[in-house]
Amino acid sequence: MGQSENEQARALEPGAEELPPGQRLQRGWPVLHYGPVPRFKPLTWEFQVFGATASGEKHSWDHEGFMTLPRSAVTADLHCVTRFSMLGSRWGGVSTATVLELAPPAPEVTHVMVWAEYGFSSNLRLLDFADDSAIFATHRNGDPLTVEHGFPVRLVVPHLYAWKGPKWVRGIEYMTADRRGFWEERGYHNIGDPWSEQRYSYQEAPGDGPEL
């Protein structure tokens, strides 16, 4: 059976060969979020690392302190579960590896919960969180993030769908067992690998996540 005209056009589109299945190339950066955009309050803003830390203590930085942490940059894609993909952005910020080094987890930690404004959360396996390309982004292509895109900090985990990297991040919780985050409790896949099209919880295989 031959390809449809739309399939042929997509196959010829530059960058199409780099897309996960079911995705389309996005030239701009759409604004998508649930709920209101939070107001940034620099005097009370705090980034926390808590839960099963190696020391048993909470680690925290105010905004000025967080922005003076060692900086990193990665060139990576962003794949949204709504089926758009944005390729080749240059993300600047603080790598997850830096946070793990400065606030190490206890040896028994297997997962993290990323917490954002208004109590939003997303769970990640520690190995995904610690990936070399994962970054707490403050900039994209040299420009500070806009508030609609997550200013002052959003997590970017390029090898997973974008909901696994929340906007407006305020901290991470180290966990010794998996626990579903906000969207994972509401029918999204617990792992979220775009190359395997892990979009929804009904697609999960045994062992992919806790029972709903």
Secondary structure of the chain in HEC code, one letter for each residue: CCCCHHHHHHHHCCCHHHCCCCCEECCCCCCCCCCCCCCCCCCCCEEEEEECECCCCCEEEEHHHHHCCCCEEEEEEEECCCCEEEEEEEEEEEEHHHHHHHCCECCCCCEEEEEEHHHCEEEEEHHHHCCCCCEEEEEECCEECCHHHCCCCEEECCCCEHHHCCCCEEEEEEECCCCCCCCHHHCECCCCCHHHCCCEHHHCCCCCCCCC
- In the block, which residue shows the tokens 């590896």? 97
**CA pair distance 141, 90, nearest whole angstrom:** 5
pTM of the model: 0.89
The pLDDT assigned to 38 comes to 87
Per-residue pLDDT tens, the chain, 212 aa: give them. 444 444 443 444 445 568 999 999 988 777 666 678 889 999 999 999 999 999 999 999 999 999 999 999 999 999 999 999 999 999 999 999 999 999 999 999 999 999 999 999 999 999 999 999 999 999 999 999 999 999 999 999 999 999 999 999 999 999 999 999 999 999 999 999 999 999 999 999 999 999 98
- The Cβ of residue 147 has, within 10 Å, a number of other Cβ atoms equal to 15
pLDDT for residue 35: 72
For the chain, the first-to-last Cα distance in angstroms comes to: 40
φ/ψ of residue 175, rounded to 5: -130, 145
Structural domains for the chain: 45-203 (3.90.420.10)
What pLDDT was estimated at residue 15? 52
Cβ(54)–Cβ(105) under 8 Å? Answer: yes
Query: How high is the pLDDT of residue 32?
Result: 65
